[in-house]
Amino acid sequence: MKSRFITFEGIDGAGKSTHIAALTERLAQGGAAVVNTREPGGTVLAETLRGLFLHSGMDSLTEALLVFAGRRDHLQRVIEPALAAGQTVLCDRFTDASFAYQGAGRGMDLSILETLEDWVQEGRQPDLTLWFDLPALMAAQRRAAAREADRFEQQDLEFFERVRGGYAERAAAAPQRFARIDASLSVPEVAAQIAAVMEARGW
Ligand SMILES: Nc1ncnc2c1ncn2[C@@H]1O[C@H](COP(=O)(O)OP(=O)(O)O)[C@@H](O)[C@H]1O
Ligand SMILES: Cc1cn([C@H]2C[C@H](O)[C@@H](COP(=O)(O)OP(=O)(O)O)O2)c(=O)[nH]c1=O
């Protein structure tokens, strides 16, 4: 079976988790072997780094080094073996998040992130990135209703609008890979957009 690497991106509270579950079921019904994973995290080592990343204060370069170290381990131990076995990998966040959060959000030099991306991924890119786009205010309202904020989620609306802009830049630079989903709509409407993207690819 043909492997597929699909990533889910967007600001916190955009609806990624909600739709990963639904897409997993849809793909599994179609006979795909689906691997669900996430970043930061996805391996024992990377989950340890995730704990540090989410809960300790640090500068943006340190954040990027931690998250790309975890990504390397995640690629080697989980993502590449699954793709080699013809499986479908659904990953909640990947490198676009580093460009959006550390780059656009925290102002880190994008050329350093590009270098890390080249070193760590050795050319590997997602086959499809579903970008859940919605205004920062709406995402904050959904988060507030749902859960307690972690270190990143406590940032202000301006930060999340910058992150959103970072995703928009990545999407413009890779229009074949990215599909923008209007995440401000209802859950069924968002699900319909995702289904249309998948159908357009024959998936
Ligand atoms: N389209 C939607 N409309 C309204 N609420 C939504 C929608 N999608 C998700 N939610 C709710 O918003 C909150 C954040 O969604 P979640 O899927 O956890 O986002 P993420 O994984 O992107 O942070 C959850 O309480 C979820 O039930
Ligand atoms: C993958 C990645 C995530 N992050 C941030 C985005 C999120 O705020 C946080 C991950 O938290 P997580 O709880 O996984 O996100 P979500 O709210 O979508 O469930 O880490 C980065 O800053 N850089 C990265 O490279």
Q: What is the DSSP string of 9-67?
A: E-STTSSHHHHHHHHHHHHHHTT--EEEEESS-SSHHHHHHHHHHHHS---HHHHHHHH
Q: Is the pTM of this model over 0.90?
A: yes
Residue 15 annotated as binding? yes
Assess whether the C-beta atom of 152 lies below 6 angstroms from ligand 2: yes
Q: Which mutation among 7, 18, 147 tests ligand 1's pocket best, with the greatest number of atoms within 8 A of CB?
A: 18
Q: Is 58 left (phi over 0), alpha (psi -120 to 50) or beta?
A: beta
Residue 17 alpha carbon, nearest atom of ligand 2: 19
Model ipTM over 0.85: yes
Ligand 1 centroid to 73 CA: how many Å? Answer: 29
Helix (H, G, I), strand (E, B) or coil at 159: helix
Contacts of 188 (CB under 8 A, 6+ apart): none
Assess whether the C-beta atom of 15 lies below 6 angstroms from ligand 1: yes
- What is the CA 132 to chain-centroid distance, rounded? 10
- The pLDDT value recorded for residue 52 is 96
Ligand 1 centroid to 16 CA: how many Å? Answer: 7
pLDDT tens for 90-110 read 999 999 999 999 999 999 999
Q: What is the mean pLDDT of residues 154-165?
A: 92
pLDDT tens for 23-74 read 999 999 999 999 999 999 999 999 999 999 999 999 999 999 999 999 999 9
How many Å apart are CA 77 and CA 154, to the nearest integer? 32
Rounded (10°) CA dihedral 37, 191, 137, 49: 0
Residue 11 annotated as binding? yes
pLDDT tens for 107-153 read 999 999 999 999 999 999 999 999 999 999 999 999 988 877 666 66
Assess whether the C-beta atom of 37 lies below 6 angstroms from ligand 2: no
Q: What is the DSSP string of 68-120?
A: HHHHHHHIIIIIHHHHHTTPEEEEES-HHHIIIIIIIIT---HHHHHHHHHHH
